[in-house]
Homo-oligomer: A and B are copies of this chain.
Amino acid sequence: MDRGALLDIESEGLLTDRRELDRISSDRSEKDNTMIKEPLLRRRINTTSQIALVGANVCPIESLDYEIIENDLFKQDWRSRKKSQIFQYIFLKWTFALLIGLCTGLVGFFNNLAVENISGFKLLLTSDLLLDKKYVKAFLSFAGCNVVLAAVAAALCAYIAPAAAGSGIPEVKAYLNGVDAYSILAPSTLFVKIFGSIFGVSAGFVLGKEGPMVHTGACIASLLGQGGSHKYHLTWRGLRYFKNDRDRRDLITCGAAAGVAAAFRAPVGGVLFALEEVASWWRSALLWRTFFTTAVVAVVLRGFVEFCRSGNCGLFGQGGLIMFDVSSADATYGTADLLAVIFLGTIGGILGSLYNYLVDKVLRTYSIINEKGAPFKVILVIAISLLTSCCSFGLSWFAKCTPCPANMQEPCPTVGRSGNYKIFKCPPDHYNDLATLFLNTNDDAIRNLFSSGTEKEFYLSTLFIFFVAVYCLGIITYGIAVPSGLFIPVILAGASYGRLVGTLIGSISSLDAGLFALLGAASFLGGTMRMTVSICVILLELTNDLLMLPLVMLVLLISKSVADCFNKGVYDQIVKMKGFPFMEAHAEPYMRQLVASDVVSGPLITFSGVEKVENILHALKMTGHNGFPVIDEPPFSDAPELVGIVLKSHLLVLLKGKVFSRERVLTGDEISQRFGAFDFAKAGSGKGLKLEDLDIQEEEMEMYVDLHPITNASPYTVVETMSLAKAAVLFRELGLRHMCVVPKTPGRPPIVGILTRHDFMPEHVLGLYPLLKPTSRGRK
């Protein structure tokens, strides 16, 4: 196979925009398909579903490396803005943090309010019919409501914003790593994410609103940072300072943290979640700003909850913003308890990694269905909804009735919507313990499982049935075209598992069954998501009891360690499956055996410092590259020398401005009069000039344009003999998009090639050098 001819094309560009692809690139895609044995769905083209789409519309975002403001021409701009505008910038930064916090808190509360009211209405209707012994009608109304809600959510998702399906955390994580998936932060995605999530959760699926809240927070942050939406003409020119990747990333990190804070009412947990799981680059200043945002969210939520306490919010109850109370459980423990906890953590880790494995398989299966088109997506959602309804209602149907315990503070059986003791079809003064779990919102089910001092509430068989049902439903639900979080299914399955174990070994251990449920949830979270500190803090903030911290830490450590032996964390797995070229923080060990020039190959498309318009247009048309090296040749320098890198987006702006000259001369002054630095500011994702927007006349084709003013004259470079591992570290730590490889020996062209994100991907490197065995992959 002609590798040299293939690899001269910067791989990332190929995937940017379908319309720009030409013969060369489609040739290449085909060859790539045969070249890489396990394509992981990433080279597929022309798919539309979010899941199957996996990678087709991925475009790495700009690096932190390139700021046009650093160019000589525009330095004056920077100096002049120093005085007053830096304060404006700082003021705006904090205003944004405040706004993100306010909006996310508001949306989080609205989301909860809507879910509580919709599902409350549904459950009340069902329980009224059940009380009247109209069982068939009850089932039909229950399943009917679920299907209608599910269908609405699915239709929103399938027809308006396919990108809103799923959790959204992998996409946000990939964005913050430098990979911008198509329309992942668009206004339509935000709309569908909010309403799809409300309808999806209300439809009684085993899915959560926490992942979508993170995505929602990120979308809000992105929209605010862009000053609204260009498409819907909601924008504000004053925000030009934020039209760069560093500030945008910072805002989105804040947004993700605010999302977690709003979902769990866990401000510290939100900061840690953003730090541990979502962000790829972290700065101390960001910690501080993120913390401010989550504090605002906490205050907003607290305000609303206070407001609702007086009954102003319809059916909005305690379950609204989950806050579980296990603090009454006694937190003293001995050796037997520790052994029980170690056992719980080990099995939890195994089950967690099995969960990841199965989610992966199911996602791959669903992507085939979802690819067939929007109607199929909706049908799949309806099918899963019916299955869920049947499970919930059917399994409860066959459960035994239990006499109500005496001397309870709570009424038993529960009248109304939520509560520990659902009557279902039991005689008076009895309750159906499985219905208590199934015919409730997920939040209430978790609260029931976590409740302490109620050892006898659930039968072993009930817990077992519920655990198996929820574990399986959770797996088959993730991946349907509905915004669906993974936190709640995992906590639900983990809590029932924990309570099951706690009830089983209640004779050995003195710990409360509710505490076991909490520890079980921790073990599942550790086993699937592989976070430690943030989950620990989120659970502490949820349960408001610090005394069980050591036990929670222990369980998390064990389950994460065990699960790490088998596979990656669920979000990493989804990132990989979607084909995002995610840069890991460390270089793979086999990269030490290679040098930079081993993965780069020429010939390369370069421009002269003053280049003919025709050549630029041709290069832009024929390739999908996003960066081109600029080389000065003898008229402008003594010998060929590398000036720097010019970006496609900047080239388009320059060509649009038409500062051309008939002769090959420097026209920098003219350009600096025509353009300000902010004309080159980054447009929102998917926006900005396209090649088709240019209107270059025939006679202009022969003219010249001076590229010096827009060339990044300080690109990061590595020598061709640089160890690939060290080049990868440089690329990753500095968040680059393009890295120039320069020759070691003099007398050769001044640049050997350009390394992009794709050149560091294990698939690419191992495709070139199959003999290098990868070691320790899938571990952190």
Select which of B544, B722, B725, B780 is within 8 A of A288 by beta carbon.
B780
Q: Which residues of B contact A500 (CB under 8 A)?
A: none
B541 touches A546 (CB 8 A): yes
A729 touches B734 (CB 8 A): yes
B532 touches A298 (CB 8 A): no
Contact digits for A762-780, partner B, Cβ 8 Å, 1 yes 0 no: 0000000000000110001
For window 523-557 of A, CB contacts with B under 8 Å fall at 532-533, 536-537, 540-541, 544, 546-547, 549-550, 553-554, 557
A532 touches B713 (CB 8 A): no
Q: Which residues of B contact A589 (CB under 8 A)?
A: 82
B532 touches A299 (CB 8 A): no
A533 touches B592 (CB 8 A): no
A291 touches B533 (CB 8 A): yes
Nearest-neighbour CB distance to chain B for A502, whole angstroms, equals 21
Residue A585 at the B interface, CB < 8 A?
yes
Q: Which residues of B contact A467 (CB under 8 A)?
A: none
Residue A93 at the B interface, CB < 8 A?
no
State how many residues of chain A have any CB contact under 8 Å with chain B.
72
A550-B302 contact in complex given A282-B282, A730-B730, C-beta closer than 8 Å: yes
Contact digits for A584-618, partner B, Cβ 8 Å, 1 yes 0 no: 01100100110100000000000000000000000
For window 687-727 of A, CB contacts with B under 8 Å fall at 713-714, 716-719, 721-723, 725-726
Nearest-neighbour CB distance to chain B for A258, whole angstroms, equals 13
Residue A662 at the B interface, CB < 8 A?
no
B714 touches A775 (CB 8 A): no
B730 touches A291 (CB 8 A): no
B557 touches A70 (CB 8 A): no
Task: Tell me the nearest residue of chain B to A729, going by C-beta.
Answer: B734
Nearest-neighbour CB distance to chain B for A556, whole angstroms, equals 8
Q: Which residues of B contact A719 (CB under 8 A)?
A: 714, 717
Select which of B544, B550, B586, B638 is within 8 A of A295 by beta carbon.
B550
Pairs across A and B, CB under 8 Å, 12 listed:
A75-B593, A78-B592, A268-B549, A276-B284, A291-B557, A298-B549, A299-B550, A299-B554, A544-B547, A637-B745, A713-B721, A729-B734
18 other contacts beyond A276-B284, A276-B287, A713-B721, with CB at 8 A cut-off?
A65-B726, A70-B592, A70-B726, A268-B533, A275-B287, A288-B532, A288-B780, A298-B550, A302-B550, A546-B546, A595-B714, A714-B721, A714-B722, A716-B726, A717-B717, A717-B718, A733-B734, A746-B747
Q: Lowest 8 CB-CB distances: which A-B pairs, in order?
A: A295-B553, A714-B723, A746-B746, A733-B733, A714-B722, A298-B550, A544-B546, A714-B726
